[in-house]
Chain A
């Protein structure tokens, strides 16, 4: 399946790499001149998936395995008066019924969340959102476990609900978290970033100030595989093995040790094939813990896999940010400052997953890609009677919300000034010579050539022609929109000194073993959910050691076989684990240099790494490949000082900074004013993720994110009614884009290497999900300009667009009228 080496060498040229990019590539630290192992090679993973031989959690069958099912609350807020499990326990195929009371005996009724709050594993006092976990049944088969749920009788005393976050802090609002001592309201945190006084001054002196309220509504990642686990406690050895849908197996192991008091060396977490994550599989869910308790109680493996409604109603949501934006500029279109006030709906438990010191994630990267004088943002988090979570769905720790805010504000400003939105952006984008650039809220952007990326996108789109076509169509009463967005992300968390999750520093490990015959196994701490790590990480090592990617096996997703690290989310695999892979390969290479010197009877200092071999400087005939050196390192050859035998190495990569991918997107829509139907006709995406290891995989990552953006902009929303009923609890209600809603994506790329990353790469997993929603919304609003529409919130469903045309845009996340 692997294409011949050398194929990748030409790809940067073909894909329009800028001269600047090439210059930087050459100056990047240790960036390789010849990318022989890089390039669009086919994926190693595919062989099993196309044959139906993948192994997902629900595919696992163990001898004697039992099945768990969760009873969930039908109410959004209610006191639990009593739970009667007698009938369920009498079911002939039921082995155990677990309630919050049972868990209290294990001190496991509550567990810590990733934001240092606590969350009920099984409710003891109250239920706080519809779908909350109340009881867990363990039975001999899947269907019996479900049957037994019907036999549990729970007496609820309904309580008033808080569903609209804007009313959560009203005096007299029902207090959701009365489990927390002294809690009198639904306030979670206030947080701010930037220079408030300086920003106020800039605004006071500005010619033009534009303001807008906007909602980034609650959404759900909805990976096609729901969450689940198989827990197997070996009662003799005391070893707990957990196969789980987790994006962070090592972090989960530590948390299980801390929460359940189990010895960490007796816990093995295996994350097998994962059917999509998108952030949904970062947290620990009550079902995982219940399956573990069930296995301990029954002495058998217990499988628990949630159904689709459970996934949509109870697992971590995304967004739900009520934002007020203000932008200040001169009358000729120089943007001066940005302000944002955010009300963040965190649901019933603060389960948001992000580095500890940033309760609003990286939202304060909201100055985007522009050269501003000052910026300030304030975020207030509140509890509501909705499912917990908050950072998920390829959001790069809330940069999705930030990019949406700034890109909508720039479009509103363009409208106010009567400027073309592309011209306004071009005028204010950071210039290449400003990098590294420290923004008004403290982020240090590593590298970028923003105007070029926007120009490439406009060239692919044929921007002036599109504007002409739009003008002609308007004359005819046809409504076509052209929307732009330009985004900068910061991805690849840590460094560990500044970023941790529950005290675990955000760094990632790698170990590399090179066998005597010259093939290698790389162990990494991140975990693929479809990103193709088994291929790209093999390419990284192969590139560093002059090997074929075929000869490098990548091991991941098994805590007993891989080094510790924080996992795959926030586009951090390539920026952190990818760097670790390159660094550990270079360590191997240095060990190999010493052995090669002994083999060639030369000094290590006289050797140079060239053409994928160690060779005597100036004498290419005198050279040894890694395979030859590996055999020698395992042989009876007398080894020089510094090498005890073999070439193996391990490392921990603590990133010095985030990497900052960026991109320019243009979306063309056609809107039917009679029905409000939006058709995305074209979508042009130019991404720059630095050096690309495998451009085929990069394109695939972008394609998927673009579909997400179209979905969020036009159809996806987790809405609630006034009683707190979740209205997005199935795929009949929570609409996802299919092949007919998505256009044929038009992609371009520029390459601006990260100067601090060992191979100059940046993350790409979330770029398109972050960058595309504002392009779609800007496009639809642009189409609706003749109707005087200035803004409408996502999702821009036909009903919502039609209402906006009538001058009555609605909130799509509430069925409260």
Chain B
């Protein structure tokens, strides 16, 4: 089937199988490998991207469901050569180690800060509780998000 998806501000028209997952569309068809695949079961959140204005786990969204919609991935966080504060926060606070969960963590965090510009540590933990990081023990991820909140 033919779909057109706006990814990070650019329209992409592609012929895809109806069963194609959004994560594979982004990675294999568009070459946007910043979003990662981690678990297949919506548990880990390595594949989180925005569909229109909402974070989704793209391993359980069909590419067809994104037809006519906007998708934001980690590659779209940087604006005009400037890092998003959330990207800067992760660097400032050592919020990443292996970097595999990081794109998904940052996209959920960006959504949180858009809706709650001054979150408590508990709110950050709650927002990220559907995602898994195996390296950081979460502490520095929380600090990273709070850093970004203080440096909008």
Contacts and interface: CB of A to CB of B under 8 A. Distances in A.
A696 interface: yes
Given A278-B134, A700-B136, A744-B139, A42 B91 contact: yes
Interface string B95-118: 011111111001000000000000
Interface stretch (A106-114, A337-345, A732-740): A732-740
Contacts of A703: 136-140
Interface string A701-719: 0111111100000000000
B34 interface: yes
Contact of A224 (B98, B106, B126): B98
Contact of A51 (B75, B92, B130, B131): B75
Most B CB contacts (10 A, CB to CB) among A49, A55, A224, A700 go to A224
Nearest to B38: A224
A738 B99 contact: no
Contact of B91 (A43, A56, A222, A700): A43
A142 B43 CA distance: 22
A52 B31 CA distance: 11
A697 interface: yes
A46 B130 CA distance: 23
A392 to B, nearest CB: 13
Interface string B121-143: 10011101111111111111110
B41 A732 contact: yes
B94 A696 contact: yes
A8 interface: no
A49 B28 contact: no
Given A50-B96, A56-B36, A61-B31, A224 B44 contact: yes
Contacts of A274: 98
A1 B91 contact: yes
B99 A51 contact: no
Nearest to A278: B134
B97 A225 contact: no
B36 A225 contact: yes
A739 B40 contact: no
Given A50-B106, A52-B103, A739 B141 contact: yes
How many interface residues does chain B have, given as a range?
35 or more
B50 interface: no
A54 to B, nearest CB: 5
Interface string A679-705: 000000000000000001101101111
By size class, the interface of chain A is 35 or more
Interface in A532-574: 532
A602 B83 CA distance: 51
Nearest to B125: A739
28 contacts: A46-B99, A50-B99, A50-B106, A52-B33, A52-B74, A56-B100, A58-B36, A142-B28, A143-B17, A224-B38, A224-B44, A224-B100, A224-B101, A276-B134, A278-B134, A529-B98, A531-B97, A699-B94, A702-B137, A703-B136, A703-B137, A707-B134, A738-B131, A738-B138, A739-B131, A739-B138, A739-B141, A745-B139
Interface of A: 1, 42-43, 45-56, 58-59, 61, 142-143, 222-226, 273-276, 278, 307-309, 529-532, 696-697, 699-700, 702-708, 730-732, 736, 738-740, 742, 744-745
B97 A530 contact: yes
A275 B98 contact: yes
Contacts of B142: 739, 744
A276 B36 CA distance: 13
B79 interface: no
B35 interface: yes
B78 A51 contact: yes
B34 A51 contact: yes
Given A732-B41, A738-B131, A739-B125, A225 B100 contact: yes
Given A61-B31, A530-B99, A731-B41, A700 B132 contact: no
A50 to B, nearest CB: 4
B140 A700 contact: yes
B116 to A, nearest CB: 15
Interface string B21-35: 000100110011111
Contacts of A276: 97-98, 100, 134-135
Contacts of A223: 98, 100, 134
